[in-house]
Structure 1
Amino acid sequence: MSATAIASSHGVLTQNLLKRRAGSTIEEFRKHYIERHGKLAIPWFLANGVTYYAQTHRPLHWATDAARQKYESAIYLSDWDAVGEVAFAPGYGSFSNAQAYYQEVILPDERRFLLDEAFKHMKVVDAESVAGEVVEFIVDGKAVVEYEEWRGVFGGYEKR
């Protein structure tokens, strides 16, 4: 699904550039981000009205000449390891639900594999600015990958 189609039906889509923790390889980062972090984020994203969540992995490149002209002088894509893409359902637009899960599960995991917590180091660019290999996790408000383990963990936080 294109970002334009997502934005028209689900609100604004942004791309968030992310860096891996020093000392980890691109392969280690990619494996952790896809196989662990992407899945553990799904229940939290769904609880916060996220209708689309995907990761874009290296090699990253500017998707359009307009994006290249807008960002290239300030952002060197070779310095970044992946892009997180998120779109919210109408009426949502922040991550205010399930804060205990975010604080106790998501943030500690980000500190393990990212340069720092995502919100502390990411760079936000317009939708469809960066291209690479896309891995989708949530499409049309439904998970498209198995995340049963994390649904169970999240369920424990919902009961608090």
Structure 2
Amino acid sequence: MGTSAETLVRFGRRSGQAKGCPEIKNLNEEDQDLYLPLLPSKVDLRQVTIIPHNEWERIRDSIDGLTRKAACLRAERKAKKDMHLRSQEVVKHWARTYAGIKEQKLKAKKKRDEELEAERQILDLEEEIYKQGERKKAIENAKQYQFYQTERLKNFHVLLGFS
């Protein structure tokens, strides 16, 4: 660090020697890599403008202000949407609203339909039992008719002398 070529111009110092600092003087070569120049090499220092810190803060705030406003608007929109969803959840279970009345009517209709379906199933069972009884009667009549026919035929054969 003894030569003037190794001294780095930092923190707005345009000319002159680097400030003497006991920490910098005691650095070895490995630690010097941490303090690389802020400007790229081959930069003409006469073309560089140095801005005071408060001016830099003002410029940065004016640029970041738009981003902050956009973030604020997004946050407000999100909060409004969340509030809307929460209010919909609360109102959903109220009975004295159009949606609540409509939902009650739908539930009542569904219940009526279920009751009608249960009654229809009972009627279908009764009708099935009735038809099964009718079939049994028809089968019994057919058997009886067949029996009488065979008896008449036997009697006729007896009279004719075939058996």
Larger Cα-atom Rg:
2
Greater RCO, CA 8 A, separation 6+: 1
Same fold (TM over 0.5): no
Query: Shorter-chain-normalised TM-score: which range?
Result: under 0.3
* TM-score using structure 2 length: 0.17
* TM-score using structure 1 length: 0.18
